[in-house]
Structure 1
Amino acid sequence: MNNLSITCPSHRSISTMRKENSTNSINEKSLLEFCKAHKALAQISGRWKLSLLFALHEEDLYYASFKSILPDISDRILTKQLKELVEDQIIDNKKDKVKSLYILTEKGRKIVAVLTALGAIGEN
């Protein structure tokens, strides 16, 4: 197996241990090229990202606030998912000398609006 690097819509590289010509790898590349919705969903996929976005929809938050709101998320995963959301320009990180304040970007607000509409459909 080769270490395959797949470029996601955020231009972030995801390394996975897969055969380069495996059906799964080929399909993933094809979907990323063909379907813009798939690209958008790839940016918000992750066990905690939706919860992080909805928490930020309520108010801007410092890192420690996320831990209070979502006590079951590990520090490693919280840091990783916040970093990815910043890289994808879905949230912004305003740093001062001691703390990092996270806020939704315009793109993030649009995503939350779509997710809210999807949630309403799911309730019916």
Structure 2
Amino acid sequence: MRKESSTNFINNHTLENYCNAHKILSQISGRWKLSIIFALSESQLNYSDFKKRLPNITDRILAKQLNELKKDEIIGNEKTKLKSVYFLTKKGNEMMRILISFKNFNSNSI
């Protein structure tokens, strides 16, 4: 929790009130979130699949990032008796289209 008088708090408050992109960017910020989203764009994955695709991620961080992405409704998960499968939600698929446009963006064209 930041002090309400701090510059970071004031800047964050300003961005939250006037910039919709700030909210979206804050939902996908984090070292592993984009990797998780791009992995799910290829196929549905269970927890052990993530560990194979992202071998350097710790269990704690993976669980935290998955929970945050679920809370923001970017990913969902379906639990059965045998396993839990993660997938992109409608919002996640829409976000993926934006991320692909970023990926294809050529800064030399400006």
TM-score, length basis structure 1: 0.83
Among 73, 92, 107, the alignment partner of 2:57 is 73
Matched, 1:106 2:93: no
What amino acid does structure 2 have at the position aligned with 1:108?
G
Matched, 1:43 2:12: no
Identity %: 54
Q: Which consecutive unaligned segments of at least 5 residues does structure 2 have?
A: none
**Residue 96 of structure 1: aligned partner:** 80
**Runs in 1 of length 4+ with deviation above 2 angstroms?**
none
- The 1:27–1:123 alpha-carbon spacing in structure 2 relative to 1, beyond 3 Å, is closer
Which of the pair is proportionally richer in strand? 1
What amino acid does structure 2 have at the position aligned with 1:42?
S
Take 1:98 and 1:23, find their aligned partners in 2: how far apart are those partners?
Answer: 49
Which of the pair is proportionally richer in helix? 2
Take 2:50 and 2:107, find their aligned partners in 1: how far apart are those partners?
Answer: 26
SS in 1 for 2:105: helix
- The 1:93–1:32 alpha-carbon spacing in structure 2 relative to 1, beyond 3 Å, is same
Give the RMSD, CA atoms, in angstroms. Answer: 1.3
TM-score, length basis structure 2: 0.93
Take 1:123 and 1:89, find their aligned partners in 2: how far apart are those partners?
Answer: 30
